[in-house]
Amino acid sequence: MHFAQYYLDCLSQASYLIGDETTGRAVLVDPRRDIDDYLHDAEAAGLRIELVIETHIHADFLSGHLELARATDAAIAFGEAAETGFPIRRLRDGERISLGADDTEGVTLTALATPGHTLESICLVIREHPDDEVPFGVLTGDTLFVGDVGRPDLLSAAGHSPHDMAARLYRSLHTKLLTLPDATRVFPAHGAGSACGRSLSTETSSTIGDQRRLNYALQPMPEADFVRLVTAGQPATPGYFAHDAALNRDGHPLLDPGPPAALTLDETLAARDRQGAVLLDCRPSTAYTRAHLAGSLHTSLDTRFAEYAGSVVAPGTPLVLIADPGTEEEARLRLARIGYDRVLGHLSDPAAVLERTPALTRHSRRIHHDELSELSLEQPQPADVGELGAPAAAVPAVAVPAVGAPAADGPAADAPAADAPATGAQLIDVRNPAEYEAGALPGARNIPLAGLAQRLTELDPARPVVLYCRSGGRSVIAAALLEARGFGDVCDVVGGYEAVAAAVG
């Protein structure tokens, strides 16, 4: 058997090539959109990709099933419940896919219907020989991760409640996956950093036995407890997820690789002013904060570039890239992986442009943790506490007299009346809800980066805004968004919550 995992760090995404070396027949599971690596490796191994299988309709990246079907004439397969805008093979629960010369020999995959993350979700049990008692492994898609399970809330907009989907997920895990032998290897579709779960491991494989013992969501508990557990504290959903899910379901243009066109400053500004293009600065955060074009957005190539871009830029928006020379093609490809294809070009030699056009250049304001005590922050209101209640481990040492950390059962005792006009700087925590619940700065409101663009009306652009995240990366992205939307006094905390916590011991 030929088995290869392809792990894409920038999206925490895994795809798999499985083949029978005797017959040369192969399948590709959950491919990304740029398919050259798969084609090269299959050819080198003497394999023919006959079938492309999607474990579900992905929301976090644009899948490569259409590109592979065009390149190899392979059929495309989904779980039986999938509804798509193109022809597919529907895999029934328990259906076997033989890569051998016949059904009695060779590598075999068995499809398991495992609804919960989505309705059409499937897992694929892999056996090197059809009668192997212990499978080689199971491709678990977004049903089971190493250290977590798939989030059940992505179909809320389609009328399926997270609680109903979580109940389906519980049954899929306990009646399908946990019936496999403990030695069965687990190969998920995502790892740490993915927004498809809340606490995924950095490990990219495990075993059923290890997950049975170590995965918090697989510990013995009633279904109702499981539902409550997995529907709470999920990361905010990036804005592009619904867009990608629709493209993966209905069809999308094939990837058009290659470098973006080089543009002069005048052409860049014309694209912004006449075509509504967003200027997306892809340089490292240190370079962006030192100098950037006024009104540009930011997400660095050395972070989760595409995911963060999809959080602050609406799908379908034309883009002009501001990237270090030689990185513009990578930036375009990484955007294409989430279906952001409208890249009009890139600004040539941005460092030189910024140096010679000071009137168009802005500098980001950043503060250190010891400067927080010098700020007059807004008094937290009841709405600031929300369903989360007070952060579980607030850092009180940075509080100033104007700030009261909300108590566990409500706002600070000396908070002003709810109808009093708000004053002072707005302290915004742009981390995910689970991070905020684990500990936050006193008086901070939680608006995760993934939802910030849709929640700007909750902030007062006439008052200062102070942003922070875990270590200072997401807060720079958030500050760029607010600056571009007309907020005049914005800063972020260097080093984020970690720096503050370390400083106060």
Alpha carbon of 407 to those of 388, 390, 435: distances in Å? 12, 6, 18
**Token pair of 367 as six digits:** 């503060």
Dist. CA 170–CA 174, nearest whole Å: 6
Q: Which of 123, 196, 282, 469 is catalytic?
A: 469
Please name every residue paired with 109 in a beta bridge, in sequence order, or none if there are none.
97, 126
CB burial readout 246-279, b (16+ within 10 A) else e: bbbbeebeebeeeebeebebebbbebbeeeebbb
**Burial (CB count within 10 angstroms: exposed 0-12, middle 13-18, buried 19+), residue 45:** middle
Dist. CA 113–CA 123, nearest whole Å: 7
Dist. CA 264–CA 61, nearest whole Å: 31
Dist. CA 63–CA 247, nearest whole Å: 9
Alpha carbon of 449 to those of 213, 239, 260, 452: distances in Å? 33, 10, 27, 5
Dist. CA 478–CA 480, nearest whole Å: 5
CB within 8 Å of 474: residues ≥ 6 apart: 308, 430, 431, 449
**Residue 10 known to be catalytic:** no
Q: Tell me the catalytic residues.
A: 469
